[in-house]
Amino acid sequence: MPFSIRFYELVAGAHLVITHFGYTALEAVVYGKPMVLVLNPEWKRTVGQIDAEIFAEKVNAVFVWDVNLENLSRATEEAKRRKVPVFEDGGQKLAELVLKL
């Protein structure tokens, strides 16, 4: 996939997002996309497996640690069946709390 400064449009238009933990995972949540979360064990300066599993559980994503074609194929099918959670607008809630001060 070529580089795009409008990558968010690709995420918004996707049926499913397969990504490493990070900004793209958050974009998938914002756009309400089913997600497969994959960690690369060779990347040592990123989120650990436990934190990624916790995040995946909170957003109902499928977590894949052992990356191979069979596991990814199974994970994509599972992710398509899962319900994507809807979260409150945290900015709106924060604004309401600040206005109460």
Count: domains in the chain: 1
pLDDT of the chain, 101 residues: tens digit per residue: 677 788 889 999 999 999 998 889 999 999 999 999 998 878 778 888 899 999 999 999 999 988 899 999 999 999 999 999 988 888 989 999 999 99
Note whether residue 45 is domain-resident.
Answer: yes
Note whether residue 54 is domain-resident.
Answer: yes
Which domain covers residue 20, as residue numbers? 7-100
Note whether residue 1 is domain-resident.
Answer: no
Note whether residue 2 is domain-resident.
Answer: no
| Residues 6+ positions from 38 with CB-CB distance below 8 Å | 18, 19, 20, 64, 67, 72
C-alpha to C-alpha distance for 9 and 87, rounded to whole angstroms: 21
Note whether residue 67 is domain-resident.
Answer: yes
